[in-house]
C-alpha cells in the first residue's frame, strides 16, 4: 500500500474521494465503511427488521403459536382503540409524568446539596448511585418486600407510628399500586439525574455567584438568576431522556404488579408484552405497539431537536 | 445546614431499602416473618445464602448469566471497536447518518421489537439459545460503547497512524498493534459495561430463553415470585448476590461513568 494520508477531522472534500479510479485497492472511505458492517448488520437484524416486522403485524390477524396470518386491515387498531388503548394511555402518562417529576425533584435537591466542598462528597455520590446500578429486578424485589401486606417494612413503620390501624395491601389496591410502582421507579432513577445535574452545576462559574452575591442577591435569587439559566440545557436533556425511558419502562412494573390489580398499572410496555406473549395475539399487540411508537416518536423528535441545538 | 438535612432525608430514602435488604438477608426466618417487623436485627444467620448455593436451578441461572454476559462483553468490544475506529478516523458518505441511526436505535421500544425477534429466532431454531441473547444484548449495548470508544480513538493523534503507514503497516496491524493497545482502558470499560447490561437484562432473557438457558433476573422471578408465600430472606440474599458483581464493576467504572452518563447514551 502506498503512503496515504489519513483523513483528519477536516476531511478531504467528498469529490476527491469520488474521483478516485475504480479498480484501485479499497479507498480509505470504503475501508472505513466496511469496518462498520458487523454493527450495521446487527442493527438491521435486531432492530430495524424487527421494528418493520412488528409494525406490520398490526395489519394482520396473527397468532404467536399458530403459523400463518390473514390480512385484517385496520381491525386491530379499531379493536384496541375501542378497548384497552385509553386506560393504558392514562396509566402510561401517569407513570411517565410522576415517574419523571419525582426523581427530578429529589435528584436536583441532592445535586444542589452535594455541590459544596463537603468532606467525602465523591464517596457519597458513588454510594448514592447504588439504587441506579443494581439490576432492575432487584429494585422490584426490594420494594415488593417493603410493600408486602403481611410483613412489610412500610406497614410496620406506619402501624408503629400510629398512622394506620391495620396493614394496607399497597400493591393489591388499584389506588395505591400505581403510587407504589412510581416510588420504586423514583428510587432507581434519581441517582442518574443527580449525577447529571451535579456535573452541570460544577460548570457554573463561581465568579458569577460571587458577583451576584456582591450585588446583594440572596441564595434563592442566585438560584433563579444564575444557576437555573446555566443548567437549562442539561435539565432539558435529563427530563426528555427520563420521559422517553419511562414511556417504555417494563421491568419494575412487570415484577412489582404484573400490570395489576385489575389493569391499574398496565402501561404500554406491559400491555404489548402481555398481549403478545400471554394472549398470543400478535395483531393487537402490533397495533398497540404502533400507537405506542407513534406517541414515543413525538418525544424522540423533541429530543433530537434539542440535541442538535 | 439545609444541605446536610437534604442529604440526610434523601439518604434515608436511598439507603433505607438497602439496609432492609441487608437485614432481611442475614436474619433467621422466625424473626423475619413477624409483624410489626423488628427494625434492628438481633440474630444473625448465613442460612439464606447457603440455601442459594444448595439450589441447583439457581446455580444453573448463575452459570447462564456468566456465560451470556461474558460473551456479550467480548462481542461488544470486538464490534464496537471496529465501528468506533471507523467513525473516529474515516470520512465517508453516510457516516453521520449511520452514527445517528445507531444512537437512535435505543429509542425504539424493546417490547415491540421482541414480537418479531421471537418469531425470527423461533424460525431460525435459535429460541432458547445463548446466541439469541448475546446478539440481542450486544446490539443494545453498542450505541453507548461505540460512543465511548470513539471518544478514546479521537484522542489518538492521526500522526501516530500516519507514521505507522509510512513504516508499511497495513490497516490490520494499525488496528490491532496501535489503536487497541492505546485504547485498552476504554476497551476494558466498554467490556465491563456490556457485561453489566447483559447481567441486568430482564425482558429479553424472559422472552427468548426457556428455563434451562435463562439468566438470573428472570430466573429469580420464576423461582421466588410464583409461590404463595415467597421465601423473602432467600430472595433478599439472592438480590445481594446478583447485585455484587454490578456494584464492583461500577466501582471500577466510576472514572468513565460520568463522561459516559453525560453523553446521554446510557439507557436507565
Q: A192 and B24: CB-CB below 8 Å? A: no
Q: What's the mean per-residue pLDDT of chain A?
A: 85
Is the CB of A151 inside 8 Å of chain B's CB atoms?
A: yes
Residue B257's pLDDT is 59
- Whether residue A21 is predicted with pLDDT greater than 70 in this model: the reply is no
Q: Are A118 and A208 in contact (CB under 8 A)?
A: no
Residue B143 forms part of a structural domain: yes
Asked casually if ipTM beats, i.e. exceeds, 0.85, the reply is yes
| B99 and B224 inside one domain | yes
- Whether residue B227 is predicted with pLDDT greater than 70 in this model: the reply is no
| B24 and B69 inside one domain | no
| B105 and B18 inside one domain | no
Residue B239 forms part of a structural domain: yes
3-state percent breakdown (helix, strand, coil) of chain A, nearest 5: 70, 5, 30
Vertex A47 angle, CA B64 and B242, to 5°:
25
| B30 and B92 inside one domain | no
Last residue of a domain, one of B12, B27, B45: B45
| B41 and B59 inside one domain | no
Residues 159 through 188 of chain B touching chain A, CB cutoff 8 Å: 161-162, 165-166, 168, 170-171
Residue B231 forms part of a structural domain: yes
Q: A255 and B202: CB-CB below 8 Å? A: yes
Residue B30 forms part of a structural domain: yes
Buried b (16+ CB within 10 A) or exposed e, B208-226: bbeeebbbbbbbbbebbee
Q: Any idea what the CATH number is for the domain that residue B149 is in?
A: 1.10.3720.10
Is the CB of A253 inside 8 Å of chain B's CB atoms?
A: no
| B33 and B105 inside one domain | no
Q: Are B218 and A254 in contact (CB under 8 A)?
A: no
Q: Are A49 and B116 in contact (CB under 8 A)?
A: yes
The helix (run of H) or strand (run of E) holding residue A291 is helix A282-308
Residue B268 forms part of a structural domain: no
Nearest CB to A6; choose among B17, B89, B116? B89
| B155 and B256 inside one domain | yes
Task: Tell me how far apart the alpha carbons of residues B2 and A290 are, in angstroms, rounded to a whole number.
Answer: 47
- A69 φ, ψ (degrees, to nearest 5): -155, 160
Q: Which single residue is written with the C-alpha cell 406491559?
A: A270
Residue B267 forms part of a structural domain: no
- Whether residue B252 is predicted with pLDDT greater than 90 in this model: the reply is no
For chain B, how far is it from start to end, CA to CA, in angstroms?
Answer: 32
Give the number of other CB atoms < 10 A from CB of residue A86: 11
pLDDT range class, residue A41, cuts 50, 70, 90: very high
pLDDT higher at B157 or A250: A250
Task: Tell me how far apart the alpha carbons of residues A236 and A242 are, in angstroms, rounded to a whole number.
Answer: 10
| B38 and B82 inside one domain | no
Task: Tell me how far apart the alpha carbons of residues A176 and A261 are, in angstroms, rounded to a whole number.
Answer: 10
Task: Tell me how far apart the alpha carbons of residues A33 and B87 are, in angstroms, rounded to a whole number.
Answer: 9
pLDDT tens for residues B238-250? 999 999 999 888 8
Residue B197 forms part of a structural domain: yes
The helix (run of H) or strand (run of E) holding residue A33 is helix A28-35
| B94 and B168 inside one domain | yes
- Residues in chain B within 8 Å Cβ distance of A128: 10-11, 14
| B19 and B131 inside one domain | no
Residues 17 through 36 of chain B touching chain A, CB cutoff 8 Å: 17-18, 20-21, 24, 32-36
Q: A142 and B146: CB-CB below 8 Å? A: no
Its domain, for residue B65, covers: 55-262
CATH of domain A77-308: 1.10.3720.10
- Whether residue A1 is predicted with pLDDT greater than 70 in this model: the reply is no
Task: Tell me how far apart the alpha carbons of residues B263 and B256 are, in angstroms, rounded to a whole number.
Answer: 11
Give the number of other CB atoms < 10 A from CB of residue A24: 9
Residues 31 through 90 of chain A touching chain B, CB cutoff 8 Å: 31-33, 35-36, 38-40, 42-43, 45-55, 57, 64
Q: Beta strands A60-62 and A69-71: pairing type? A: antiparallel
- Strand, coil or helix: B124: coil
Vertex A126 angle, CA B250 and A205, to 5°:
120
pLDDT tens for residues B64-82? 999 999 999 999 999 999 9
Nearest CB to A189; choose among B7, B117, B268? B268
Total domains present in chain B:
2
- Whether residue B62 is predicted with pLDDT greater than 60 in this model: the reply is yes
Nearest CB to B7; choose among A39, A114, A196? A114
Task: Tell me how far apart the alpha carbons of residues B143 and A247 are, in angstroms, rounded to a whole number.
Answer: 20
pLDDT tens for residues A110-121? 999 988 776 777
pLDDT tens for residues A177-233? 999 999 999 999 999 999 889 888 888 888 888 888 888 888 888 888 888 888 888
Residue A20's pLDDT is 42
Task: Tell me how far apart the alpha carbons of residues A188 and A137 are, in angstroms, rounded to a whole number.
Answer: 11
| B83 and B21 inside one domain | no
| B90 and B115 inside one domain | yes
Task: Tell me how far apart the alpha carbons of residues A273 and A289 are, in angstroms, rounded to a whole number.
Answer: 9
Amino acid at each position: 500500500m502506498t503512503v496515504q494520508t489519513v483523513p483528519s477531522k477536516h476531511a478531504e472534500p467528498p469529490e476527491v474521494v469520488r474521483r478516485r479510479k475504480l479498480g484501485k485497492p479499497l479507498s480509505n472511505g470504503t475501508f472505513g465503511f466496511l469496518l462498520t458492517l458487523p454493527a450495521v448488520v446487527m442493527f438491521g437484524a435486531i432492530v430495524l427488521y424487527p421494528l418493520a416486522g412488528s409494525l406490520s403485524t398490526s395489519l394482520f390477524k396473527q397468532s404467536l403459536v399458530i403459523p400463518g396470518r390473514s390480512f385484517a386491515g385496520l381491525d386491530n387498531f379499531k379493536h384496541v382503540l375501542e378497548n384497552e388503548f385509553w386506560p393504558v394511555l392514562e396509566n402510561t402518562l401517569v407513570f411517565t409524568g410522576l415517574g419523571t417529576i419525582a426523581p427530578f425533584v429529589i435528584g436536583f435537591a441532592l445535586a444542589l446539596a452535594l455541590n459544596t466542598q463537603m468532606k467525602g462528597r465523591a464517596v457519597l455520590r458513588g454510594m448514592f448511585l447504588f439504587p441506579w446500578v443494581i439490576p432492575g429486578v432487584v429494585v422490584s424485589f426490594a420494594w415488593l418486600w417493603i410493600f408486602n401486606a403481611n410483613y412489610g417494612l412500610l406497614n410496620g413503620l406506619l402501624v408503629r407510628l400510629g398512622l394506620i390501624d391495620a396493614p394496607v395491601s399497597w400493591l393489591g389496591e388499584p389506588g395505591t399500586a400505581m403510587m407504589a410502582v412510581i416510588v420504586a421507579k423514583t428510587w432507581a432513577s434519581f441517582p442518574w439525574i443527580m449525577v447529571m445535574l451535579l456535573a452541570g452545576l460544577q460548570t457554573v462559574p463561581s465568579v458569577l455567584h460571587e458577583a451576584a452575591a456582591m450585588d446583594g442577591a440572596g441564595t434563592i435569587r442566585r438560584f433563579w438568576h444564575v444557576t437555573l439559566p446555566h443548567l437549562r440545557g442539561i435539565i432539558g436533556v435529563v427530563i426528555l431522556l427520563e420521559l422517553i425511558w419511562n414511556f417504555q419502562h417494563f421491568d419494575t412494573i412487570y415484577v412489582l404488579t404484573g400490570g395489576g390489580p385489575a389493569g391499574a398499572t398496565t402501561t404500554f410496555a406491559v400491555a404489548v408484552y402481555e398481549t403478545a406473549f400471554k394472549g398470543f395475539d400478535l395483531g393487537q399487540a402490533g397495533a398497540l405497539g404502533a400507537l405506542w411508537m407513534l406517541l414515543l416518536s413525538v418525544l424522540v423528535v423533541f429530543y433530537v431537536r434539542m440535541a442538535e441545538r | 445546614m439545609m444541605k446536610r438535612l437534604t442529604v440526610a432525608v434523601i439518604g434515608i430514602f436511598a439507603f433505607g431499602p438497602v439496609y432492609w435488604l441487608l437485614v432481611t438477608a442475614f436474619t433467621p426466618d422466625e424473626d423475619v416473618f413477624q409483624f410489626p417487623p423488628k427494625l434492628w436485627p438481633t440474630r444473625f444467620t448465613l442460612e439464606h445464602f447457603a440455601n442459594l448455593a444448595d439450589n441447583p436451578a439457581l446455580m444453573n441461572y448463575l452459570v447462564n448469566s456468566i456465560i451470556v454476559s461474558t460473551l456479550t462483553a467480548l462481542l461488544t468490544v470486538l464490534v464496537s471497536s471496529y465501528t468506533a475506529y471507523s467513525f473516529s478516523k474515516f470520512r465517508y458518505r453516510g457516516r453521520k447518518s449511520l452514527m445517528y441511526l445507531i444512537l437512535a436505535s435505543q429509542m425504539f421500544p424493546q417490547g415491540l421489537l421482541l414480537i418479531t425477534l421471537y418469531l425470527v429466532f423461533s424460525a431460525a431454531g435459535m429460541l432458547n439459545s445463548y446466541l439469541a441473547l448475546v446478539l440481542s444484548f450486544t446490539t443494545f449495548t453498542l450505541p453507548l460503547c461505540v460512543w465511548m470508544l470513539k471518544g478514546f480513538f479521537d484522542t489518538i493523534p492521526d500522526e501516530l497512524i500516519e507514521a505507522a503507514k509510512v513504516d508499511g503497516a497495513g490497516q490490520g496491524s494499525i488496528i490491532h498493534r496501535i489503536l487497541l493497545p492505546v485504547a485498552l482502558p476504554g476497551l476494558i470499560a466498554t467490556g465491563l459495561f456490556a457485561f453489566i447490561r447483559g447481567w441486568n437484562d430482564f425482558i429479553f432473557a424472559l422472552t427468548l430463553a426457556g428455563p434451562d438457558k435463562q439468566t438470573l433476573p428472570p430466573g429469580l422471578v420464576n423461582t421466588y415470585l410464583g409461590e404463595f408465600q415467597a421465601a423473602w430472606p432467600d430472595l433478599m440474599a439472592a438480590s445481594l448476590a446478583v447485585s455484587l458483581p454490578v456494584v464492583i464493576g461500577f466501582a471500577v467504572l466510576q472514572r468513565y461513568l460520568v463522561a459516559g452518563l453525560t453523553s446521554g447514551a446510557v439507557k436507565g
